[in-house]
Amino acid sequence: MRVSIERGPKGKKCVAYAIDWPGLERNGKAAETALDHLTAYRERYARVADRVGLADAFVAEPEPEVVEDYPGVGSTDFWGISFAQSPTDHLPLPPDEFERRLSLLQACWAEFDAIADRVSPELKKGPRGGGRDRDHIVRHLIASELDWTPKIGIRLDYHDIAFPLENRQRYHDQVIEQLRFHYETGTPAKLKGGPLWTLPFFIRHLAYHVMDHAWEMEDKDLTEP
């Protein structure tokens, strides 16, 4: 399994993510810890791969192999997420691989929706009573994506997109359509005056955020042991 390591500039956090499996990303204080966390989540990510008929290919992946190790940005240290584009993010994707990654992004959204449907509306809080409940997480997911998708030409008001389910599914269909447009026209994702995002980075950035909050809901569910 090809893995990238992104290191925060202050050495506070490292992030490990599977290059070919958008959404499978974990962090740690050191690269080895981040890799251990990524490996621990492989079984959970297998459900995502299974949604698009890639379960066997995913299970057959060997142990993680670090193929690139590069410096991150302030958000890498602060949030513990990959927020810098890697060398492989700038490589062209063949059409079949682009569509494969789009299908995995859609599977991440479907897994998020399925988890949101089955967990308790109220979620377990942290040691000091912190944390969001289920509907707050759903709204946060959509609000964050609406900050990013103007880069690919989608500018929508937040109102009523998160709920009901059909609304956010319709929104995500638009995202896929626009990603295909940018791929076919060879145009990167960009906000006016902002940095360029390559499509591989855009896809994995969206997918990570989806799965991070999907697993957060699952871990804090009050209906299951």
Given this model, what pLDDT does residue 176 score?
98
- Shortest CA distance to 107 belongs to which of 224, 3, 206, 220? 206
What burial class does residue 36 get, using C-beta atoms within 10 Å of its C-beta: 0-12 exposed, 13-18 middle, 19+ buried? middle
Q: How far apart are CA 44 and CA 216, in angstroms?
A: 12
Domain 92-220, CATH class in plain words = mainly alpha
Q: Is the pLDDT of residue 129 over 90?
A: no
Which tens digits make up the pLDDT trace of 2-20? 999 999 999 999 999 999 9
Average pLDDT of the chain, as a whole number? 95
Q: What CATH number belongs to 2-89?
A: 3.30.160
Read off φ and ψ for residue 215, nearest 5 degrees.
-70, -30
pLDDT band (50, 70, 90) for residue 197:
very high
Q: Say if CB 172 and CB 113 are below 8 A apart.
A: no
Same fold, 2-89 and 92-220: no
Domain ranges of the chain: 2-89, 92-220
CA–CA distance from 12 to each of 7, 38, 85, 187 (Å)?
8, 18, 19, 34
Q: Residue holding tokens 């810098």? A: 84
Given this model, what pLDDT does residue 224 score?
67
Q: Answer yes or no: pTM beyond 0.75.
A: yes
Q: Say if CB 4 and CB 204 are below 8 A apart.
A: no
Read off φ and ψ for residue 154, nearest 5 degrees.
-105, 115
